[in-house]
Structure 1
């Protein structure tokens, strides 16, 4: 998202400062799950520190000159929060906001009405005490000065661990609330894994690797894979992939990259696998992201290199596949998904559909 695009939740979050209801502290503030946008640029926000684990959003904040840092234990007189949709993850984030707040400070949060705003507001009230709130731009903004009667410190302590990594799928993998398909094996990824041919070999990449399921399946099914780079934009998911791929460290050279795939790849590969995302903030459909993943894969593959891709059958990827690869075939279709193999043209190779 660019700083000129609409972001109603961010706009609502800054509203109490714009109209003078709340004063911006001279000692600065912490912004959890920060996003760049024009409301951040309307007035000076001295000392704002941003934390964001999603690479495209972190990069956008840095391009705008904001101070983006890795999580630490610093405390602030003001903590701003844009809570995620997943409720356990959001509750853990509210508990973190309490931990990062100086005595007497203010927590303020905002969410779209159709993204659980009322539930988020009720949750913050349970651990922090009475709130003030306002509705605007089809969002709710709500804030509190914890310390008054009504906050539940014991519940806040319990919520701090709600998004902790844990075993899933009978203990086969480690995941955590908030990452894509966090508590299950994604059906589309499973379909792709079932159709990966055993003869894939050489240097490989997994684009949008998540917590590492496809990468693990690729290494298990294809003994010729000598090296594998995982590219993932969400830092929380990439950390899980490191854990899940640890048993394969002696099997192949592994690379873990916190990276926005749409910006291109720094290396060349013989094999690429991907279940590309096609939604953006607010669950808005963004098939252009998937198309860009395909174009980037084509750029990164060596001549004769193979892309194995899974997508919803309705997504319009055929044009970019045909334009980018020498041959394209649908290897499987099931339950609304399609598995595609695309081979990059070699020197002198023709195009096959």
Structure 2
């Protein structure tokens, strides 16, 4: 994590806990606290007590929480908590689904406490919670809006609760692929991924990996276009993408009429891959939140180089402005730009160096 990301996460945590630190909200005596989309940080480690449950679907953040000793899990919907803390995601449909979960977990039992940076839709999020659960109290701190409600059954908009909960269900997007709100390019086929898929030669063969697989679009194209594929592993850090990816792979295998072994891993690619591969394809992430973070793409290149067999091939796509060529040249003997189009570049690298 970069210094700026660390600072941002710490600032949001400081804001989230401000109503508790200021005395406006007491921590529950029974220690029944759930933290949805939790982030690790000094303030959480200072405030948390034994028994708190942290939910986080993004593997690197979940791993950070686990390393700090927190219980990381996803409680059953019927479980009730005296306090539910929430750091909603930016995508509004997904955020509404998270707020619906928070209200369900706190119904008639506790408080929902939410923090959203002002630049990431704080007013809309506060309005959403008020529509769903009734009156809210709020305060501003550290360029964030912090707001809370005490959901009781009589005040909850039951139809809205069901609708927003359903917004997190896996469904087909406009292109016919299984997906869900909040995933990368969740409602369409990403242009960069489509360009990479269209650039892959049909003679690729052997054991494949798709790193940063999302809902699995690239892997479905590998299966459809490369007759020599023997198996394919999908690596994705966002747990909410795992089920859509599995469904898309199953649909493609069925349409092909032949069985190709595949597995979808909830995994942080930057710590390395689980196997050795003949071909790795990737449309690597290059940002978290609003911040460009080319180091993520560079970490994907290093992971690919470590996991390829000596004659293996790495195919990736990236925005034209991202400076990946130097890292590719450092880790591979042969690097070429295959196509540059619509602001993207597709590159192939061979001969991974140790």
TM-score interval (norm. to shorter): over 0.9
1:162 to 2:170 alignment: no
Counterpart in the other structure of 2:6: 5
Distance 2:161 2:208 in 1: 43
Distance 2:181 2:117 in 1: 20
Distance 1:45 1:133 in 2: 24
Distance 1:149 1:271 in 2: 57
TM-score of the two chains, using structure 1 as the length reference:
0.94
1:82 to 2:101 alignment: no
Out of 37, 40, 59, the residue aligned to residue 41 of structure 2 is 37
C-alpha deviation, 1:43, in angstroms: 3.2
Distance 1:241 1:206 in 2: 11
Deviates more, 1:69-78 or 1:318-327: 69-78
C-alpha deviation, 1:42, in angstroms: 2.3
| 5+ long unaligned stretches in structure 1 | 348-353
Out of 278, 284, 289, the residue aligned to residue 296 of structure 2 is 289
Q: Deviations over 1:222-272 (max 9, x none)?
A: 010101000000011111100110132743110111000000112110000
How does 1:77-116 map onto structure 2 within 5 Å? 77-116=82-121
TM-score of the two chains, using structure 2 as the length reference:
0.93
Deviates more, 1:88-97 or 1:160-169: 160-169
Distance 1:47 1:71 in 2: 13
CA contact (8 A) 1:212 1:240 kept: yes
Q: Deviations over 1:58-116 (max 9, x none)?
A: 00000000000134232111111111111111111111111111524100001111111
SS for the counterpart of 1:5 is helix
How does 1:134-145 map onto structure 2 within 5 Å? 134-145=139-150
Out of 242, 252, 263, the residue aligned to residue 255 of structure 1 is 263
Out of 20, 25, 28, the residue aligned to residue 23 of structure 2 is 20
SS for the counterpart of 1:327 is strand
- RMSD of aligned Cα (Å): 1.9
How does 1:270-285 map onto structure 2 within 5 Å? 270-280=278-288, 282-285=289-292
How does 1:196-345 map onto structure 2 within 5 Å? 196-247=200-251, 248=253, 250-280=258-288, 282-345=289-352
C-alpha deviation, 1:296, in angstroms: 0.8
Distance 1:26 1:344 in 2: 60
C-alpha deviation, 1:149, in angstroms: 7.2
| 5+ long unaligned stretches in structure 2 | none
CA contact (8 A) 1:88 1:162 kept: yes
Aligned pair count? 345
SS for the counterpart of 1:143 is strand
Distance 2:217 2:211 in 1: 12
Q: Deviations over 1:325-347 (max 9, x none)?
A: 01000000001100000002599
